[in-house]
Amino acid sequence: MSERVAERTGEFLPRLQLSPDHDLCPGCGEPLVLRLILELIDELGLAERAIGVVGIGCYTALAPLIDLDVIQALHGRAPSLATGAKRMRPESLLFTLQGDGDMVNEGLQEVIHTAARGENVTCILLNNGVFGETGGHMTATTVLGQRTKNTLEGRDAARHGHPIRMCELIAPLGGATYVARGSVHDAAAVSKTRRMLRRAFESQLAGEGFSLVEVLTMCPTGWFVPTKEGPGYLNGVLGAVHGVGELKREGKLLAR
Amino acid sequence: MRRLVEGSEAIADAALAAGCRFFAGYPMTPFTELLESFAAKLPAAGGACVNAESELEAIGMAWGAAATGARAATGSTGQGLALMQESLSELTRAELPLVVFNLARGQGDYFQATRGGGHGDYRLIVLAPIDVTEAVVLTQEAFYLADQWRNPVLVIGDYLLAHTAEAVAVHALEFGALPAKSWAADGGGGGRGRPRHVSSLGTTPGSKGIDPERAWQALAAKHERIAAAEARFEAEGVEDADLLVVAFGSLARFARHAVRELRAEGARVGFFRPITLWPFPSVALAAAAARVRRVAVLEQNAGQMIDDVRLAVLGAAPVVGIGGISTDPSGFGIGRLLDPENVRGRIAGALR
């Protein structure tokens, strides 16, 4: 069987991305989300008033590519850093970039309180249901039955507990105004996710309060599936538990 | 005009006079009144005080505020500082100016303040005011030193400092010009290929990968420069002393009083007080101890600063501890040691 190398489909780089060069795995969904964020900020004309707060995970390696002011946080702590930064720079667009290990495991308390306080920031959760950077270990969002390096027979509720569904947890909180879960498993999903991020940013610019956009992202390396099966696994396995859609807009819970 | 105010309020006033515009904290005795003072005073000054859900988040919020270039602070009691250690070491590596207050329960946090419990190689500048009047000056200087060195500065006090009322007048003090914070991630740096990334990881915008060795060597070199430049102390009556008493913070106030009384009665006893616990004033202490018969360390703990005293004196004179654990059922670190007669008795005992 011959190795197939993905063909480069173009040289196009978002204006706010300093370089195309990074070390994330083939088939990873995280660079797609970075592209959406950077394109949107450029489109909205916010390059000179945006601050990104980046957590610790694979996506941390994307931070140096960002042509925006960036504050690097400790694992789990991005929502608090965003709180302090936004309070001092209320005119800025403040977003965090965190993985599921970062936001839902290590820093769950932070994001809940940041949402409840109604901090006027946008938290972006890259949810691939696994600790990708350590090589594929269970996180709080790992779905039942999912195999990881520390749930070798699949996540079993009796031994490992149940997954936390982040948007469903945050949406009922009073300070949260926009809560949505997107995915990047195909072009239509990417397009919907882009619209969610736009609505979150617009909500923040209107001063409405806390917004959360969760994006399901592929991690074929951490799931131990072939790269080309990543999008299908994401939509079929993770998407079945972490359902895509908007949960809250303009402070009102939406029927699903 | 001087006003009679408790240390907590005076420290908050001094921080505001220094331009502090952000504070976050979580209540804990005896730190609570400092949080109350910031909560009452910061909004009117155009700042923000956030009641954090824990000390982990309090220091995270202050970190975010400081990263935008604002003067920011947080604080707690030693127990809360324990929770902040990871952030303190990482902040140091991100070279962020931040002022942190530990209004501690006694003096048992000397090791925490000077060694820390965080990961990796890092140092905090540690200032230990003796009273409210000095706290007003050192609080303002803490913000200056933090900006000058781009390093967190810890101001350590105790129940007595927090709750003793003294007549003080708080004016903004001038410490000299500082460079503009061109490194600050204030949101204005995007889109031109030269963004400001405030990071502890040794990254460079536009390049992949990290270079922690270069970053950490530069940090270590900076800490050597701080150690050479910033050691502060107070010394009294050391020229003819047989016995040198070393103490810091509130307890040093008792020690200084007793030493003055004993000297007035003809005793050959001197007083040495580190004002910076890091950098420790080792060179000055070695000089002060060069001709004494004995060095006595008075500290309200099981013996922590005595290690630094021994390292400074290097065997030139015997070093003994005359303090010890002293608290009361409140657990707030008050106890029988904080008593002029008791302190005088211990110093007189070491003279014999």
What is the tens place of the pLDDT at every residue in B210-224?
Answer: 889 999 999 999 999
Domain with CATH 3.40.50.970 in chain B: 3-168
Hey, is B218 helix, strand or coil?
Answer: helix
Residues 44-63 of B with CB under 8 A from A: 48, 50, 52-54, 56-58, 60-63
**Rounded distance, CA A31 to CA B342, Å?**
67
* B181/B295 Cα distance (integer angstroms): 44
Residues 6+ apart with CB under 8 A from A72: A53, A54, A60, A63, B94, B197, B198, B199, B200, B201, B203
Dihedral over Cα of B303, B304, B309, B314: its sign: positive
Q: 3-state SS string over A68-134?
A: CEEEECCCCCHHHHHHHHHHHCCCCEEEEEEEHHHHHHHCHHHHHHHHHCCCCCEEEEEECCCECCC
- pLDDT at residue B90 is higher than 50: yes
pLDDT at A9: 65
Q: Are A146 and A140 in contact (CB under 8 A)?
A: no
Q: What percent of chain B stands above pLDDT 90?
A: 96
Residue count (chain B): 352
Instruction: Give A192-225 pLDDT, tens digit per residue.
Output: 999 999 999 999 999 999 999 999 999 999 999 9
Shortest Cα–Cα distance, B16 to chain A (Å): 15
Calpha distance B38→B11 (Å, rounded): 9
Burial of A103 (0-12, 13-18, 19+ CB in 10 A): buried
Note the pLDDT of residue B334: 84
CB contact, 8 Å: B199 with chain A? yes
> What is the arithmetic mean of pLDDT over B12-18?
98
CATH number for A30-253 (one of 3.40.50.970, 3.30.70.940, 2.70.98.60, 3.20.20.70): it is 3.40.50.970
pLDDT tens column, B113-170: 999 999 999 999 999 999 999 999 999 999 999 999 999 999 999 999 999 999 999 9
As a whole number, mean pLDDT of residues B278-303 equals: 98
B334 or A24, higher pLDDT: A24
Q: What is the pLDDT of residue B293?
A: 97
B233-351: CATH topology is Rossmann fold (3.40.50)
What does the pLDDT average to over B161-184?
A: 97
pLDDT at residue A10, as a whole number: 63
Which candidate, A148, A156, A146, A201, places its Cα nearest to that of A177?
A201
pLDDT for A3 = 65
* Rounded-to-integer distance, Cα B67 and Cα B96, Å: 7
Mean of all residue pLDDT scores within chain B: 97
Low-confidence ranges of chain A (pLDDT < 70): 1-4, 6, 8-11
- How many Å lie between the alpha carbon of B178 and the closest alpha carbon of chain A? 20
Angle of helix A30-43 versus helix A187-205 axis, rounded to 10: 50
User: Has domain B3-168 been given CATH number 3.40.50.970?
Assistant: yes
Paired sense of beta strands A252-253 and A245-249, if any: antiparallel
A69 and B187: CB-CB below 8 Å? yes
Q: Could you read off the pLDDT of B227-264 as tens digits, one per residue?
A: 999 999 999 999 999 999 999 999 999 999 999 999 99
CB contact under 8 A, A69 and B62: no
Q: Does B195 touch chain A (CB under 8 A)?
A: yes
Q: Please state the pTM of the whole predicted model.
A: 0.96
